[in-house]
């Protein structure tokens, strides 16, 4: 171990004890009996977890932990763990903020291991036999195990083969546990977008003993329909792209059969794309947009919000109804930082605030230049929070301290609406596509934001606070 990193982690461990308090403060309250799992469904043993005001504990081999004398609401702090993969730093800390339940199932990625290290992996391969032959079509195939999806698009040629793989929770392995799916569509040779769906095949396969090889997919004819997609978005946003994904029994497949840019809209401003018709088949349409770099957002209850120095990406998704060919996508008001603005000098006790849609799950990441770099990630449903006590966590602040922060947000039918709902076994289906990046967004409708909220520094005369 690098000596400087070793010193820091030792200081951090000591700081965690200081932050927890000088002794057990367990008078009154209730007992929290939780479990810490990774997104492959496997336990994370020997991780330090604590509730501020209580002594840290290590998770057991099965990921379980017990903390006594807790009062609700409480914050659960997990060391060396994270959710957002893009911004994890050398020393990550994850905080579930505002829990009230006594039995949380807490999800995290282990910073000491690759994200998919505990996942099982299996492949399926074979030949796709199309129902129709033409020069202008494509094949796709996917393998689905619970919330885990893997798949791809394949060109038809003299050897029309497919080979797809999926990472999944090894506890889901077994007989007849996976759906293998193949589909064929007519394409526009200029844009490669699907103009009609021709054939499909769904098989049930077993992944209990490894790969499912030699699985030939002889496609049978299906129907097609023309979808009319409209998109509404706030004036500060620029539409980037509209995509179509096939759904199988409600699960969206990861490859897009149509990808249309904003300039491909029709005269009415809408987008025309094909969707499949058949038993268990459907369509999920995703639109993405961007904003920031300047201007003002004038909507919402906060007055004018400055978009200078921030950059945001947003997306909405909607499954098409079976009885209607019209799909309407509407972006909510954007997530916009309020305090601090980019480049601001702040006090350690500054409250970070932002505007965003109600009923949203926020994942706020602070990247701190402390050598080694630290990420403090806080999951909350409140549109404001303060930085955790950095000095108390062993993170020594000096005059060279700099940081920046990022805001991610999720909302929708399949997205947990509270931190308590997030800390439950059922939350994994919504989290896997975003935090393991396996599969497309799930649920009938929803939205996401990812915002670079800018940088900040601490005032030199505030460092003693």
- Residue-wise pLDDT for 120-176, tens only, equals 999 999 999 888 777 788 899 999 999 999 999 987 665 688 999 999 999 999 999
Cβ burial of 157 (10 Å; 0-12, 13-18, 19+) is exposed
As a whole number of angstroms, the distance between CA 257 and CA 274 comes to: 9
- Residue-wise pLDDT for 238-290, tens only, equals 999 999 999 999 999 999 999 999 999 998 999 999 999 999 999 999 999 99
Q: How far is CA 101 from CA 97, 98, 417, in A?
A: 12, 10, 14
Half-sphere exposure of 128 (CA within 13 A, CB side): 32
Considering the domain architecture, whether residues 452 and 341 belong to the same structural domain is answered as: yes
* pTM over the 0.85 mark: yes
Considering the domain architecture, whether residues 137 and 217 belong to the same structural domain is answered as: yes
Considering the domain architecture, whether residues 126 and 234 belong to the same structural domain is answered as: no
> Quick one: DSSP state of residue 393?
G
Q: Residue 32 pLDDT > 70, yes or no? A: yes
Considering the domain architecture, whether residues 289 and 341 belong to the same structural domain is answered as: no
Confidence of residue 441 (pLDDT cuts 50, 70, 90): confident
Q: Tell me which of 330, 350, 377 is where a domain ends.
A: 330
Q: What is the pLDDT of residue 335?
A: 96
Burial 313-337 (b: 16+ CB within 10 A, else e): bbbbbbbbeeeeeebebebbbbbbb
**Within a 10 A sphere around the Cβ of 176, how many other Cβ atoms?**
10
As a whole number of angstroms, the distance between CA 149 and CA 147 comes to: 7
- Parent domain of 281: 224-330
Average pLDDT of the chain is 88
Q: What is the pLDDT of residue 190?
A: 87
Q: Residue 452 pLDDT > 70, yes or no? A: yes
Confidence of residue 461 (pLDDT cuts 50, 70, 90): low
The number of domains in the chain is: 3
Q: Tell me which of 175, 198, 221 is where a domain ends.
A: 221
Q: What is the pLDDT of residue 157?
A: 62
For the chain, percent of residues with pLDDT exceeding 90? 69
- Residue-wise pLDDT for 346-390, tens only, equals 887 899 999 999 889 999 999 988 766 888 999 999 999 998 776
CA 77, 78, 82, 87 dihedral sign is: positive
R_g of the chain computed on alpha carbons: 24
Q: Tell me which of 201, 221, 241 is where a domain ends.
A: 221
Residue that wins the pLDDT comparison between 1 and 66: 66
Q: Residue 391 pLDDT > 70, yes or no? A: no
Confidence of residue 332 (pLDDT cuts 50, 70, 90): very high
Considering the domain architecture, whether residues 308 and 353 belong to the same structural domain is answered as: no
Q: Residue 204 pLDDT > 70, yes or no? A: yes
Three-state DSSP class for 314?
strand
Considering the domain architecture, whether residues 325 and 249 belong to the same structural domain is answered as: yes
Considering the domain architecture, whether residues 213 and 246 belong to the same structural domain is answered as: no
Considering the domain architecture, whether residues 342 and 453 belong to the same structural domain is answered as: yes
Considering the domain architecture, whether residues 53 and 75 belong to the same structural domain is answered as: yes
As a whole number of angstroms, the distance between CA 128 and CA 164 comes to: 12
- Residue-wise pLDDT for 283-323, tens only, equals 999 999 999 999 999 876 778 899 999 999 999 999 999 99
Considering the domain architecture, whether residues 95 and 143 belong to the same structural domain is answered as: no
Spatial CA neighbour of 283 closest among 200, 224, 369: 224
pLDDT, average across residues 389-407: 71
Confidence of residue 13 (pLDDT cuts 50, 70, 90): very low
């Amino acid at each position: 171990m690098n000596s400087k990193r070793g010193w820091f982690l030792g200081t951090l461990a000591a700081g965690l004890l200081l932050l927890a308090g000088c002794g057990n403060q367990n008078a009154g309250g209730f007992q929290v009996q939780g479990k810490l799992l990774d997104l492959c469904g496997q336990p994370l043993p020997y991780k330090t977890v604590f509730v501020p005001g209580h002594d840290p504990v290590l998770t057991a081999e099965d990921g379980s932990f017990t903390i006594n004398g807790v009062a609700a609401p409480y914050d659960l702090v997990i060391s060396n763990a994270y959710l957002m993969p893009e911004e994890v730093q050398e020393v990550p800390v994850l905080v579930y903020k505002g829990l009230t339940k006594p039995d949380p199932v807490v999800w995290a990625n282990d910073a000491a291991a690759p994200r998919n290290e505990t996942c099982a992996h299996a492949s399926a391969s074979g030949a796709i036999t199309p129902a129709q032959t033409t020069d202008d079509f494509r094949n796709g195939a996917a393998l689905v195990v619970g919330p885990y999806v893997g798949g791809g698009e394949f060109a038809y040629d003299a050897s029309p083969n497919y080979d797809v793989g999926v990472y999944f929770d090894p506890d889901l392995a077994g007989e007849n546990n996976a759906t293998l799916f193949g589909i064929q569509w007519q394409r526009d040779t200029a844009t490669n977008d699907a103009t009609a769906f021709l054939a499909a095949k769904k098989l049930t396969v077993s992944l209990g003993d490894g790969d499912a090889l030699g699985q030939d997919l002889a496609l049978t004819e299906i129907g097609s329909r023309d979808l009319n997609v409209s998109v509404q978005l706030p004036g500060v946003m620029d539409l980037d792209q509209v995509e179509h994904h096939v759904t199988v029994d409600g699960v969206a497949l990861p490859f897009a059969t149509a990808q249309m840019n904003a300039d491909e809209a029709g005269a009415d401003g809408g987008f025309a794309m094909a969707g499949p018709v058949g038993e268990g088949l459907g369509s999920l349409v995703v639109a993405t947009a961007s904003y920031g770099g300047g201007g003002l957002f004038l909507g919402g209850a906060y007055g004018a919000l400055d978009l200078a120095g921030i950059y945001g990406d947003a997306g909405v998704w909607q499954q098409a109804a079976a009885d209607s060919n019209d799909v309407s996508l509407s972006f909510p008001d954007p997530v916009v930082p309020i305090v601090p603005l980019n480049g601001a000098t702040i006090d350690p006790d500054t409250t970070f605030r932002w505007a965003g849609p109600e009923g949203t799950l926020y994942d706020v990441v602070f990247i701190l230049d402390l050598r080694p770099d630290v990420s403090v990630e806080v999951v909350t449903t409140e549109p404001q929070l303060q930085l955790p006590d950095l000095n108390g966590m062993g993170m020594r602040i000096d005059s060279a301290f700099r940081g920046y922060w990022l805001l991610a947000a999720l909302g929708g039918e399949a997205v947990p609406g509270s931190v308590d709902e997030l800390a439950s076994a059922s939350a994994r289906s919504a989290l896997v596509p975003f935090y393991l990046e396996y599969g497309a967004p799930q649920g009938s409708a929803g939205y996401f934001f990812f915002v670079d909220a800018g940088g900040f520094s601490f005032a030199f005369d505030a460092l003693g606070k």
